[in-house]
Chain A
Amino acid sequence: MTETIQSPARTDGQQIETIEVSKFARFKSVGITVVNLTIFFTIWELVARAEVINSLFFPRATDMFAALFNGFADGTIWPQLSHSLTNFLIGLAISAVIGIPVGLLMGASKVADLILSPYVWAMTSLPRVALIPLLILIMGFGNSMQLTIIVLSAVFPIMVNCMAGVKTVEPSLVRAGVVFGASRPQIYLKVILPYTLPFVISGVNQGIARGLVGMLIGELLGGGGNGLGFLLDRAGEQFDAPMLYATLILLAVMSVGLVQAMRWLEQRAAPWRDISRA
């Protein structure tokens, strides 16, 4: 498929070789994914048609797609999806706005770290579900309670990562900042913050994963009557297996999409990072 061609030596002595790459190479990974998914859904369909497993738990792939299509067509899915997505994004934004500065503060100030870390670590390790009864007691069933659980899930991993980022800044970079005349605010702005950026992003990444769990918990147990969690709950109660699976697929697509977006951002934010560590 590929072959190399020697190009004439350049005037500056550098030897640059051009390589010929097949036109289809670019589409190779996309192609593999398409084939892969096709096989997956085909096997699913065949297994379901063979009725080895009760169709109540395991619907046909085609039924699932039909439920997905109809759900969008008759407007049962979209309002719930948009409710979940909006809630989640607002919750994540609030978490970032609180978590990033507090985490940076904890990394920079020993006193802040000593005061806050018991609470932060307790909240980071406490299973989020345990908070639901209390939150329902305080806020009742509804949107604010769902939003709160998303924030409580996402904010602590963001905080902890930002703190770790500041604490791992290479001391010699800070010393270089001092030697070359930077004031304390300048050192924070020009050395510590850029160094911490990849940590902030991986914190947000973890915040996404935890926040999605929080979102579902809130919608499943909070009984607000909306969101993807509500769709799941109702489909389960109505023995609507195709709808149940369709919602799960939607959730998977949503989280994979968010994680991929963050990965893309991560590579943009610190292209020096993985290369220099290699």
Chain B
Amino acid sequence: MGQVEARSAPGAQHAADERPSEPALIEAAHVTAGYDNRREHTRLIALRDVSLQVRRGEFLAIVGPSGCGKTTFINLIAGFVKPLEGSVRVRGEEVTGPGADRAMVFQDYALLPWRTVERNIRFAMENRRGHVPKAEQAERAARALRLVGLTGFEKSYPHELSGGMRQRVGIARALVTEPEILLMDEPFGAVDAMTREAMQAELEKIIAETRQTVVFITHSIDEAILLADRIVVISKRPGTIREVIDVDLPRPRFDEQSDVQRSPRFGEIRSHLWSLLADEALGAKQEGATR
């Protein structure tokens, strides 16, 4: 951790409190990742030399300009993408592919449109990996639906639900097998602003109950501050870690009384993040102009 902070985040406001006794749940070491374009014989480097540790039970948000490799990072953890250099380890074991210990929530929900809500959630339990005995499936699905507040919609089809409700189904599907790690790729990017805020509050409540480790990608600075324990700022492509920021705001943050959004500390973190990301946006623009 200290290594990351020292090399790529000289301006970090707070050193993450390290507990060397407890090994990191997810550990990325000097990861470089990219995509080959075989037709043009080129390779696009999406992430360069990224080292990062995620602790058990932590809520980590990743922010950065579009195309900075945020999604690549989450895909590395999910096991969709293999690093060109370096390694990604979960519980000390190298990630070689998707596993039942990691579930994902997609920006476009990725629900099967021909299945009802309940059968979409059962999908996570009926396949070869992470299979749950049939007798247990119904009960688990009901519990997951209760968790996301969708009891009574078991027999609805995704196209009959609003965007926010669809993503609740997506979250329930990811949580139903009780994975250790929840990967969320801009989960609220496609829902409207009002629903978004309600979903954030709900997510905080759910995670407080289920205690998952979360890696959460977002475009929204406010969303990152409100949800995360730590925020990783990634620079534009090829993505490197610019800074890791501790969010030391008290929880629960969506409590009516706490009003975290108006606290001075919230404002500080927010303006710091803004200046970091404005740099990135400006840098991208200047580069575009000189080209």
Interface size on B, residues (CB 8 A): 26
Indicate if the CB atoms of B127 and A182 lie closer than 8 Å.
Answer: yes
- Comparing A35-43, A63-71, A125-133, A186-194, the segment that makes contact with chain B is A186-194
- Given A175-B106, A176-B106, the answer on whether A181 and B114 have CB atoms closer than 8 Å is no
Known: A194-B114, A272-B113. A179 touches B98 (CB 8 A): yes
> A34 to B111, alpha carbons, bound, how many Å?
44
A172 neighbours in B (Cβ, 8 Å): 106, 108, 110
Determine which residue in B98, B114, B124 has the highest number of CB atoms from chain A within 10 A of its CB, and name it: B114
Taking CB atoms, residues of chain A closer than 8 Å to B177 are: 180
Asked if B128 contacts A173 (CB within 8 A), the reply is no
Establish whether residues A178 and B80, one from each chain, have CB atoms under 8 Å apart when the complex forms. Answer: yes
Answer yes or no: A270 CB below 8 A from chain B CBs. Answer: yes
Residues A191 and B112 in contact in the complex (CB < 8 Å), given A175-B80, A179-B103, A179-B104? yes
Q: Is A275 an interface residue (CB 8 A)?
A: yes
Residue A183 is within 8 A (CB to CB) of chain B in the complex: yes
Looking across the interface, which residue of chain B has its beta carbon closest to that of A191?
Answer: B112
Interchain CB contact under 8 A, A276 and B159: yes
Interface centre among A177, A179, A271, by most chain B C-beta atoms within 10 angstroms, is A179
Most buried by B among A182, A183, A191: A182
Q: Which residues of B contact A191 (CB under 8 A)?
A: 112
Across the two chains, which residue of chain B brings its CB closest to A276?
Answer: B159
Cβ of A144 to closest chain B Cβ, rounded Å = 39
Within the complex, which residue of B106, B110, B113, B127 is in contact with A181, where a contact is CB–CB below 8 Å? B127
B binding-site residues for A, Cβ under 8 Å: 78, 80, 98, 100, 102-104, 106, 108, 110-114, 123-124, 127-131, 157-159, 173, 177
24 contacts between A and B (CB under 8 A): A172-B108, A175-B80, A175-B104, A176-B112, A177-B127, A179-B103, A179-B104, A180-B103, A180-B123, A180-B177, A181-B100, A182-B127, A182-B128, A182-B129, A186-B128, A190-B123, A191-B112, A194-B112, A195-B114, A272-B113, A272-B114, A272-B157, A276-B113, A276-B159
Chain A interface (Cβ < 8 Å from any Cβ of B): 170, 172-173, 175-183, 186, 190-191, 194-195, 270-273, 275-276
Q: List 17 additional contacts besides A170-B108, A173-B110, A271-B157; criterion CB under 8 Å.
A: A170-B110, A173-B112, A175-B110, A176-B110, A176-B111, A179-B78, A180-B124, A180-B127, A180-B177, A181-B128, A182-B128, A190-B127, A194-B114, A195-B114, A275-B159, A276-B113, A276-B158
